[in-house]
Amino acid sequence: MAGEKWQIGLDIQPHAYYAVAVARQRGGWQLRGCWHQLLPGHEPLSSGLPVPEIQTEALRRWRAGLPRRFSLRVALPAARVLQRTLPAPAPQLREPHREAFLLAQAARLFPLDRDALVFDYRTPSGQPEQVLVTAAHRQELAAWLALLQQAGLQPDAVDIPPCALHYIGELAGIPAEALMLHHLRQGWVWVSPRDRAFQFGIIDAAENAGDVLAALPAALHALPCFFSSALGEPVPDGMHGWSPFSRLLGAAPAESEPPGAFALAAGLAVRPEDRE
């Protein structure tokens, strides 16, 4: 076990951070650790920059207890990220020409100047005919990375909550045709089924899960919905519950927070490696 490399998902929320560590074993993913730290804060889900003076010290203390070798994956607030789905270029178009083509196409779709954004792209799971292009505000991304660097942390990947839900949902056996809905303390995140074009939404003000579903595109209303929550609330009628720890080897730690609070961190931890 001393030579294994942990994969750690770090989900930073306005009120707390959550982290899950896993290591790949023959039988699957072995749970190696689970942490959370409450922080003062009540910002809405769409808030942008973190509060460095508060979060840096908490993350530095957490970093001190980690092993030497690990791969860190973090999530940006989904409401601060722009995404578009593009048709995949012809297979014969190779790098670096493929990247240049995709970014040129994407730059025309986003409302901000290209120099103000940082781009990334990947092929959605099971949809080789599409490319998902993600754009983050360059200034905000730099602030996040600076915060982590001050705490002694260097992320290997930066993603968003809806993608994290897809990663852990697939591992947990959630059907590819199902919608996923996650309730955070500051709002709601929904993400389209894995077998459809990638869509997600952030809803700050909604009384209950039914209100969220009613606001979604009509094509999603009749789909099965898998519900998770950071609040430990009952699963709404007509929806399906699940746990981010159901397919992780080893017992889920006895944390004071409900399992759903770690859903995003667990998804980041099992996030597939980026491939060139």
Q: Could you report the per-residue pLDDT of 107-165, keeping only the tens digit for each?
A: 777 766 777 777 777 776 667 788 877 777 788 788 888 889 999 999 998 888 999 99
% the chain with pLDDT above 70:
89
Provide the CATH number for the domain around residue 104.
Answer: 3.30.1490.300
94 falls within a domain: yes
116 falls within a domain: yes
Average model confidence (pLDDT) across the chain = 85
What per-residue confidence (pLDDT) applies to 41? 59
Q: Show the domain range for 87.
A: 80-136
7 burial level (CB within 10 Å; 0-12, 13-18, 19+): buried
Per the structure, the count of domains in the chain is 1
107 falls within a domain: yes
pLDDT for 1 beyond 80? no
Return the H-helix or E-strand segment holding 62. Answer: helix 52-63
119 falls within a domain: yes
HSE of 80, CA atoms in CB hemisphere, 13 A:
23
HSE of 86, CA atoms in CB hemisphere, 13 A:
23
The closest of 224, 169, 229 to 194, measured between CA atoms, is 169
Q: How far apart are CA 136 and CA 76, in angstroms?
A: 9
18 falls within a domain: no
pTM for this prediction: 0.84
149 falls within a domain: no
pLDDT-based confidence at 276, cuts 50/70/90?
Answer: very low
pLDDT in tens, 31-56: 999 999 887 755 554 555 555 566 78
85 falls within a domain: yes
Angle at CA of residue 9, ends 122 and 134, nearest 5°: 25
Mean of pLDDT values over 228-248: 95
98 falls within a domain: yes
